[in-house]
Amino acid sequence: MQLHLIDAYATETQQTWMELEKAAPRCFFLSWGWMENWLACLPREHAPQLAVLRDGDQPVAACFLKRRHVARLGVVGSRAVYMNTTGVPRFDNVWIEYNGLAGRELGIARLIEALPDDWDELFLPGLRPAAFGGLSEAIIRGFVVRIERTVPSFFVDLERVRASGYLSLLGSQTRAQLRRAGREAGEVQLEVATDVQHALAIYEELIELHQLAWQAKGHPGAFADPWFVKFHARLITKRFPHGEIQLARLRTENGTLGTLYNFVYDGRVLQYQSGLAETGNKHLKPGFLAHSAAIEHAADAGLSVYDFLAGDMRYKKSLSTDQCSMIWARVQRQRFRFLFEDRLRGLARTVRARRAASHGTGDQAAAASEP
């Protein structure tokens, strides 16, 4: 199997990716709609190349690869390669999930063998569970496959919702909270955008609500970066006509309770961002009510899954019926400098743990020892 590198903006890139997507639809984050928007918004100096794996003349799989020289801890240099990302946090904060190859599912050894022999590390963020046939820590032909973290991804099986109703699938405490929130809210209405301008109007309100909530907690908020705002404004404008974008607003007679920004692809709703009103009423849960209404709407529309995406936040656990996981992995050459880096990081964790133990409880010490 041969690997060919193609300019990201070549006509061949779109044609190749769309053919592979059609043969094996994966996820919205691996759709041409997402990728085209990503490439269009990236500054050219940060653009990747398309890496196409061919069996003879036939493309069988592809991904975007960006090369970058990095230095960590001031002493560890690396020729890094990033899959479907750039290695620049600002541009990677759009958070690709269910990542992997477009087209045929290949083992990681096939990709390692095909890559040119001029890299030290391959970063594989947010991989779907079946990516590369399922990854585990191993040594393959002199390369170390490292699983850096495994993150749960909670979702709602909408077939089960249609069969028995949503509330019956939830725990007793969550059911009680939703019923109480419904009484506190009174009559509510889920308003789902019907055209691009409608969607952009809800998007603007979502940004305002999201930013107010996060800044009140002392955080900048996801939409603090104008590049991020423009990325999604363009994505909404381009992909709403294809039925891949959903903007929804839950309203009462007193105004907006919550707004949701979702992707819709291959029967799945991916819950990407939200903006929730601050009501001052702890029993009126705008997030619970907005998600519950959106889940019922998706079930009525005949969709298969409402996916909260990666993260173990309590509300995702409470409102879901099932879960899977995503992994963040790295493939490294067996180099002394990487062993040295591991020892430095291990020493730093030990020092933090000892300091925490001398100033706090055992629980605090345990938390400080985590990477």
**Which residues of 56-202 form beta strands (DSSP E)?**
58-72, 76-83, 102-103, 121-127, 138-140, 143-157, 189-192
| 68 DSSP assignment | E
| 29 DSSP assignment | G
Q: What is the structure's pLDDT at 10?
A: 95
178, containing H or E segment: helix 172-185
Q: What is the structure's pLDDT at 365?
A: 36
All structural domains of the chain, each given as residue ranges with its CATH number in brackets, are 2-152+326-368 (3.40.630), 154-324 (3.40.630.30)
Phi, psi of 252 (to 5 degrees): -120, 180
SS (H, E, C) 95-110: CCCCECCEECCCCHHH
Q: What is the structure's pLDDT at 275?
A: 97
Beta pairing partners, 152: 325
Q: What is the structure's pLDDT at 369?
A: 34
Q: Residue 40 carries which side chain, given as an amino acid letter?
A: A
Opening angle at CA 6, ends 53 and 228, nearest 5 = 105
pLDDT tens for the chain, 371 residues: list them.
899 999 999 999 999 999 999 999 999 999 999 999 999 999 999 999 999 999 998 999 999 999 999 887 767 788 999 999 999 999 999 999 999 999 999 999 999 999 998 999 999 999 998 999 999 999 988 899 999 999 999 999 999 999 999 999 999 999 999 999 999 999 999 999 999 999 999 999 999 999 999 999 999 999 999 999 999 999 999 999 999 999 999 999 989 999 999 999 999 999 999 999 999 999 999 999 999 999 999 999 999 999 999 999 999 999 999 999 999 999 998 776 666 666 767 777 888 888 888 776 444 333 333 33
Q: What is the structure's pLDDT at 341?
A: 67
Cβ 291 vs Cβ 107: under 8 Å: no
Cβ 153 vs Cβ 310: under 8 Å: yes
Q: Residue 356 carries which side chain, given as an amino acid letter?
A: A
For residue 151, give the nearest of 112, 108, 97, 92 by alpha carbon: 97
Query: How much is the pTM?
Result: 0.90
Cβ 57 vs Cβ 12: under 8 Å: no
Opening angle at CA 297, ends 293 and 302, nearest 5 = 150
Q: What is the structure's pLDDT at 361?
A: 45
